[in-house]
Structure 1
């Protein structure tokens, strides 16, 4: 049986778009409304759900939602957040810079995504789904999480998917594992900020637990934490056009 990370409730999990479509197909109310929306009682449920999710999802990892100028602004925001955390911890900080606002050109727009529309100039999350490109489920479709999960619930669901892949699907060398660890690394500062208290059920801070989980799994992958955080999506293979030989 798959081992779930410590403290992970059964109902907190990532879900594939295909599985979400199966759930939608079993909901009579959804099917009635969707048939009217499509104007076709024989509409393709999977295609509709995929379209709806695509318009309401934003990837968790910054590298998958910003262009290079946006990534540079994101770094400035992260520096400001870190200074604020230090000030909240009691350190005297004389100057906390105001980070720059984003522009539509800072966000990736390929594939019909709506990251700018869903985030805006202050990058405030308004999406319904958090997405995990390059980490598909066993059915090959995009994995997503409800955007209402808090940082701990997000981390728990990501770690569960990680364990599923490692123990039941692709094994320890599966390429989906590194970006999932990068997601946990992205969430770790927020875990330390909001989930650093001792969990009475486990006599352990969930922030400390997942920091240890991240460190151990990075080591098992032969990576440093810096290398995990620096993960980049694979580049598309260059396609060369071949000319037809002359007769």
Structure 2
């Protein structure tokens, strides 16, 4: 076909039933949440006692939101669920908080009208208080590592 020549007349394609007047089956609907492209962060072992489900947070949270979630988890588990200060389940939560604090300080270290305070200062105070109650240093938190899961099969029952 020569450049600029009119296209030959093609027969109109038939549209499947139920799709007429739309570009596709999802046209005009909001996207679904929780699909295969939705991402989450997990907090293993942070669920309340008696709840075996995995606690999840949205991976789209900014560092302030992540810090707020971790501080609230530590406080709730101690005050509401009765976790003792010697309970090792709080250590990974505090280690996670310590890990994100540099970004909280970088992006949220000013007075925030919506927050009503300086979020970075508030979370840093919460971290120091929780560590003091548990007699943990920042070095203890930096050195913390999750337990390695044993791979392989379980032994067969005889």
Q: Same fold (TM over 0.5)?
A: yes
Higher relative contact order (CA 8 A, sep 6+): 1
Aligned to 2:92: 179
Per residue, is there more helix in 1 or in 2?
1
Q: Deviations over 1:216-242 (max 9, x none)?
A: 1111111101111221113458xxx8x
Which 4+ stretches in 1 moved above 2 angstroms? 133-138, 170-175, 199-204, 234-237
Show structure 2 runs of 5+ residues with no match.
1-33
Does residue 135 (structure 1) correspond to residue 70 (structure 2)? The answer is no
CA contact (8 A) 2:46 2:73 kept: no
Q: TM-score, normalised by structure 2?
A: 0.64
> Number of matched residues?
121
Structure 1 Cα separation of the partners of residues 97 and 54 of structure 2: 18
CA RMSD of aligned residues (A): 3.0
Cα deviation, residue 175, structure 1: 2.3
CA contact (8 A) 1:134 1:233 kept: no
Mapping 1:1-247, distance limit 5 Å: 128-138=39-49, 139-169=51-81, 170-200=83-113, 204-235=117-148
Q: Deviations over 1:70-100 (max 9, x none)?
A: xxxxxxxxxxxxxxxxxxxxxxxxxxxxxxx
Q: TM-score, normalised by structure 1?
A: 0.42
CA contact (8 A) 2:108 2:120 kept: yes
* Greater C-alpha radius of gyration: 2
